[in-house]
Amino acid sequence: MLNGINLDGLNSAKQAITALPEAGIARYGVELDWQGGVKMIAKTLPMSVGTDKIERNFTWTIDEPPQLLGSSTGPTPQEYLMSGVGACIMVGFVVNAAIEGVALEKLSVRMSGNLDLAGFLNLRPDAEIKMGGLSYEINVTANAPQATLDKIAEKAFAFSPNAMTVVHGIPVSGKMTVVRPVTDAVGVK
Protein backbone atom coordinates (compact mmCIF):
# COMPACT_ATOMS: atom_id res chain seq x y z
CA MET A 1 0.00 0.00 0.00
CA LEU A 2 1.26 3.44 -0.96
CA ASN A 3 -0.85 6.63 -0.75
CA GLY A 4 -3.79 4.37 0.16
CA ILE A 5 -3.48 2.47 -3.14
CA ASN A 6 -3.33 -1.33 -3.10
CA LEU A 7 -0.69 -1.90 -5.79
CA ASP A 8 -1.19 -5.70 -5.78
CA GLY A 9 -4.92 -5.17 -6.31
CA LEU A 10 -4.19 -2.69 -9.11
CA ASN A 11 -1.90 -5.18 -10.85
CA SER A 12 -4.51 -7.95 -10.48
CA ALA A 13 -7.15 -5.68 -12.03
CA LYS A 14 -4.82 -4.84 -14.93
CA GLN A 15 -4.21 -8.54 -15.57
CA ALA A 16 -7.94 -9.38 -15.40
CA ILE A 17 -8.85 -6.58 -17.83
CA THR A 18 -6.03 -7.56 -20.21
CA ALA A 19 -7.27 -11.15 -20.23
CA LEU A 20 -10.97 -10.21 -20.53
CA PRO A 21 -11.56 -6.62 -21.77
CA GLU A 22 -15.26 -6.71 -20.75
CA ALA A 23 -14.10 -6.92 -17.13
CA GLY A 24 -12.88 -3.34 -17.47
CA ILE A 25 -16.17 -1.76 -18.55
CA ALA A 26 -17.65 0.46 -15.84
CA ARG A 27 -21.24 1.68 -16.16
CA TYR A 28 -22.60 4.58 -14.12
CA GLY A 29 -25.90 6.39 -13.66
CA VAL A 30 -27.51 9.18 -11.71
CA GLU A 31 -31.10 10.33 -11.37
CA LEU A 32 -32.08 13.93 -10.73
CA ASP A 33 -35.37 14.95 -9.14
CA TRP A 34 -36.62 18.52 -9.44
CA GLN A 35 -37.26 20.29 -6.14
CA GLY A 36 -38.76 23.51 -7.56
CA GLY A 37 -37.07 26.54 -9.07
CA VAL A 38 -33.59 25.56 -10.25
CA LYS A 39 -32.91 23.20 -7.32
CA MET A 40 -32.63 19.43 -7.75
CA ILE A 41 -31.55 16.39 -5.79
CA ALA A 42 -29.22 13.97 -7.55
CA LYS A 43 -28.83 10.37 -6.48
CA THR A 44 -26.57 7.62 -7.67
CA LEU A 45 -27.93 4.54 -9.39
CA PRO A 46 -26.28 1.12 -9.07
CA MET A 47 -23.10 0.88 -11.10
CA SER A 48 -21.24 -2.07 -12.51
CA VAL A 49 -17.65 -2.98 -13.23
CA GLY A 50 -17.54 -5.94 -15.58
CA THR A 51 -20.16 -8.32 -14.19
CA ASP A 52 -19.98 -6.94 -10.63
CA LYS A 53 -23.00 -4.83 -9.63
CA ILE A 54 -22.18 -2.19 -7.01
CA GLU A 55 -24.90 -0.48 -4.99
CA ARG A 56 -24.37 3.28 -4.67
CA ASN A 57 -26.44 5.20 -2.12
CA PHE A 58 -25.39 8.83 -2.38
CA THR A 59 -27.46 11.98 -2.82
CA TRP A 60 -26.52 15.60 -3.26
CA THR A 61 -28.18 18.94 -3.91
CA ILE A 62 -27.57 21.02 -7.03
CA ASP A 63 -28.71 24.64 -7.06
CA GLU A 64 -27.79 28.08 -8.37
CA PRO A 65 -27.03 31.27 -6.44
CA PRO A 66 -29.78 33.92 -6.19
CA GLN A 67 -28.15 35.88 -9.03
CA LEU A 68 -28.96 32.86 -11.27
CA LEU A 69 -32.50 32.29 -9.92
CA GLY A 70 -31.55 29.81 -7.18
CA SER A 71 -31.25 29.79 -3.41
CA SER A 72 -27.63 28.58 -2.99
CA THR A 73 -28.49 25.33 -1.24
CA GLY A 74 -25.80 23.43 -3.16
CA PRO A 75 -23.09 23.74 -5.79
CA THR A 76 -24.03 24.66 -9.38
CA PRO A 77 -23.98 22.13 -12.23
CA GLN A 78 -20.74 23.74 -13.47
CA GLU A 79 -19.10 23.35 -10.05
CA TYR A 80 -20.04 19.67 -10.10
CA LEU A 81 -18.59 19.35 -13.60
CA MET A 82 -15.33 20.96 -12.47
CA SER A 83 -15.19 18.82 -9.31
CA GLY A 84 -15.68 15.69 -11.43
CA VAL A 85 -12.83 16.62 -13.76
CA GLY A 86 -10.57 17.73 -10.90
CA ALA A 87 -11.30 14.63 -8.81
CA CYS A 88 -10.56 12.36 -11.76
CA ILE A 89 -7.20 14.11 -12.31
CA MET A 90 -6.46 13.74 -8.58
CA VAL A 91 -7.26 10.01 -8.65
CA GLY A 92 -4.84 9.64 -11.57
CA PHE A 93 -2.16 11.58 -9.70
CA VAL A 94 -2.49 9.46 -6.54
CA VAL A 95 -2.45 6.16 -8.46
CA ASN A 96 0.47 7.15 -10.70
CA ALA A 97 2.43 8.46 -7.72
CA ALA A 98 1.97 5.07 -6.03
CA ILE A 99 3.07 3.25 -9.20
CA GLU A 100 6.19 5.46 -9.33
CA GLY A 101 6.89 4.80 -5.63
CA VAL A 102 6.29 8.44 -4.62
CA ALA A 103 4.79 8.97 -1.17
CA LEU A 104 2.48 11.99 -1.09
CA GLU A 105 2.27 14.26 1.93
CA LYS A 106 -0.34 16.71 0.59
CA LEU A 107 -2.23 17.00 -2.68
CA SER A 108 -4.86 19.41 -3.96
CA VAL A 109 -6.29 20.26 -7.35
CA ARG A 110 -7.81 23.68 -8.03
CA MET A 111 -10.22 24.00 -10.97
CA SER A 112 -11.57 27.15 -12.60
CA GLY A 113 -13.67 27.98 -15.63
CA ASN A 114 -16.06 30.55 -17.05
CA LEU A 115 -19.44 30.62 -18.70
CA ASP A 116 -21.07 33.32 -20.85
CA LEU A 117 -24.67 33.41 -19.64
CA ALA A 118 -25.70 35.09 -22.91
CA GLY A 119 -25.24 31.68 -24.59
CA PHE A 120 -27.48 29.87 -22.08
CA LEU A 121 -30.09 32.62 -22.37
CA ASN A 122 -29.89 32.63 -26.20
CA LEU A 123 -29.21 36.38 -26.26
CA ARG A 124 -26.51 36.54 -28.94
CA PRO A 125 -25.74 34.12 -31.78
CA ASP A 126 -21.99 34.52 -31.13
CA ALA A 127 -22.25 33.63 -27.42
CA GLU A 128 -21.05 30.09 -26.68
CA ILE A 129 -23.38 27.85 -24.69
CA LYS A 130 -20.54 25.64 -23.45
CA MET A 131 -18.07 26.79 -20.83
CA GLY A 132 -15.20 28.85 -22.20
CA GLY A 133 -12.63 26.37 -20.92
CA LEU A 134 -11.38 24.76 -17.75
CA SER A 135 -8.00 25.08 -16.12
CA TYR A 136 -6.48 23.09 -13.30
CA GLU A 137 -3.57 23.52 -10.92
CA ILE A 138 -2.07 20.60 -9.01
CA ASN A 139 -0.40 21.46 -5.70
CA VAL A 140 1.66 18.62 -4.29
CA THR A 141 3.98 18.09 -1.36
CA ALA A 142 6.21 15.08 -1.98
CA ASN A 143 9.87 14.23 -1.68
CA ALA A 144 10.46 13.36 -5.34
CA PRO A 145 12.39 14.84 -8.28
CA GLN A 146 10.55 17.48 -10.33
CA ALA A 147 10.82 15.34 -13.48
CA THR A 148 9.06 12.44 -11.74
CA LEU A 149 6.26 14.69 -10.46
CA ASP A 150 5.89 16.22 -13.95
CA LYS A 151 5.56 12.72 -15.44
CA ILE A 152 2.93 11.81 -12.83
CA ALA A 153 0.99 15.03 -13.54
CA GLU A 154 1.10 14.42 -17.31
CA LYS A 155 -0.27 10.89 -16.89
CA ALA A 156 -2.89 12.06 -14.39
CA PHE A 157 -4.32 14.41 -17.03
CA ALA A 158 -3.74 12.32 -20.16
CA PHE A 159 -5.39 9.20 -18.70
CA SER A 160 -8.21 10.97 -16.83
CA PRO A 161 -11.52 9.71 -18.27
CA ASN A 162 -13.37 12.85 -17.13
CA ALA A 163 -10.74 15.27 -18.44
CA MET A 164 -10.54 13.45 -21.78
CA THR A 165 -14.35 13.40 -22.02
CA VAL A 166 -14.40 17.19 -21.65
CA VAL A 167 -11.39 17.76 -23.93
CA HIS A 168 -12.60 15.52 -26.76
CA GLY A 169 -16.35 15.56 -26.22
CA ILE A 170 -18.69 12.60 -26.50
CA PRO A 171 -22.09 12.06 -28.06
CA VAL A 172 -25.00 12.85 -25.78
CA SER A 173 -28.42 11.47 -26.59
CA GLY A 174 -31.72 11.78 -24.83
CA LYS A 175 -35.40 11.17 -24.83
CA MET A 176 -38.41 12.46 -22.96
CA THR A 177 -41.27 10.54 -21.38
CA VAL A 178 -44.40 12.57 -20.71
CA VAL A 179 -46.64 11.56 -17.82
CA ARG A 180 -49.90 13.48 -17.76
CA PRO A 181 -51.14 14.54 -14.34
CA VAL A 182 -54.10 12.62 -12.96
CA THR A 183 -57.04 15.01 -12.71
CA ASP A 184 -59.73 14.81 -10.08
CA ALA A 185 -62.86 13.49 -11.80
CA VAL A 186 -65.19 14.81 -9.06
CA GLY A 187 -67.70 17.20 -10.59
CA VAL A 188 -66.61 16.43 -14.16
CA LYS A 189 -69.43 15.32 -16.47
Output DSSP code: residue 1. -
Average pLDDT for runs of 10 along the chain of length 189: 95 95 96 97 97 97 96 97 98 98 98 96 95 97 98 98 97 95 66
pTM of the model: 0.91
Q: What is the pLDDT of residue 175?
A: 96
Architecture of the domain defined by 76-169? 2-Layer Sandwich (3.30)
Q: Please say whether the beta carbons of 26 and 54 come within 8 A.
A: no
Q: What is the pLDDT of residue 132?
A: 94
In the chain, what are the domain boundaries? 76-169
Contacts of 94 (CB under 8 A, 6+ apart): 3, 4, 5, 104, 107
**Using one digit for the tens of pLDDT, what is the confidence trace for 36-89?**
999 999 999 999 999 999 999 999 999 999 999 999 999 999 999 999 999 999
